[in-house]
Amino acid sequence: MVTFKSPADTEEIRLARLRVSYLDWPGDSPPIVLMHPNRTNARVWDFMVDASSLPNRFIAPDARGHGFSDYPERDYVLQEYVWDLVEFLDSLQIPQVVLVGAATGGNIALLVASQFPARVAALVVADPGLSLDKKISADVKDEIVKNHRFPDFDSAKAAMPFSRLWSQDMKDHYAEHSFKKLETGEVEWRYYPQGAQYTEGVLENDMWDDIMVSCPTLMMRGVESHVFPAHNMKRLQEMIPGSEAHDVPGCDHRISQDQPVLMANLIDDFVKRRLPAAL
């Protein structure tokens, strides 16, 4: 079992739309809110937050249909996740945040910063799925169907996607929090497969015209990632005035799990330079 210097408290809150489970690391305002990728959960952030030197409060919700939040049978377009996050912040009485989104969470974060600019003091997006390649999307949707339930825990852990660059501690910790054991002895992912599959298909849609971000922005891509190619990062950087872009070595698509210390260092430096009044 991994021992963290500052473990998160696990909380839940009932919104009008659904019940949301979230991790909460105590600290100063403004909070840094972390949005995880599709078909994952808030535990993708544990190592990254533990490596951060920032004094800010960190909050990581499980999105609808993921982790320990509710699993609605419908409404898995990106806009639903946007409204969920805004209602979540309202319920916690949080007026403004530093918003961090990874993969699909990055798409959601871009939309929140575009539609609710007063709520986002600064934005970080890591390997978002913008105009996602249809072949990648088809492979993921197929994987969601075929690899949702497993005969035992070891086979489930061995099949975790995008995990080839993770440390053994990362694999063990994430697997511990991401599968549930069934009465049959089988194990399955803690996410709603139909919802995750629907969201994956939505990522194929062009959302460039919906991006209107004006806050300080940091974007990063895994050097080995095919999900967020270099030309998409260049296009996004050109759309957001004064934004910063970094290729992160030793990373595929899951930067917070491939290189959590490097990601923490990039975010720490960005917040300290661009939002010194927030520290």
Q: DSSP letter string over the chain? A: ----SSPPEEEEEE-SS-EEEEEEE--EEEEEEEEPPTT--GGGGHHHHHH----EEEEEEPPTTBTTS---SS--SHHHHHHHHHHHHHHTT---EEEEEETHHHHHHHHHHHH-GGGEEEEEEES--TT--HHHHHHHHHHHHHTSEESSHHHHHHT-TT-TTS-HHHHHHHHHHHEEE-TTS-EEESB-HHHHHHHHHHTTS--GGG----S-EEEEEETT-SSS-HHHHHHHHHHSTT-EEEEETT-SS-HHHHSHHHHHHHHHHHHHHH-GGG-
Is it the case that residue 142 has pLDDT exceeding 90? yes
Q: Which residue has the higher pLDDT, 5 or 219?
A: 219
Closest by Cα among 2, 13, 73, 69 to 36: 69
Q: What CATH number has the domain spanning 9-132+208-278?
A: 3.40.50.1820
Please check the confidence at residue 92 and state whether its pLDDT lies above 70: yes
Average pLDDT of the chain to the nearest whole number: 96
Q: How much of the chain, in percent, has pLDDT values that exceed 90?
A: 95
- Token duo for residue 253: 């698509």
pLDDT interval class at 276 (50, 70, 90): confident
Mean pLDDT of 12-18: 94
- In the predicted model, what is the mean pLDDT of residues 145-163? 95
pLDDT band at 1 (very low <50, low <70, confident <90, very high): confident
pLDDT band, very low/low/confident/very high, at 215 (cuts 50, 70, 90):
very high
Q: Residue 279: is its pLDDT beyond 60?
A: no
Contact 97, 31 (CB under 8 A): yes
Tell me, yes or no, if the pTM score tops 0.95.
Answer: yes
Check pLDDT > 90 for residue 278. Answer: no
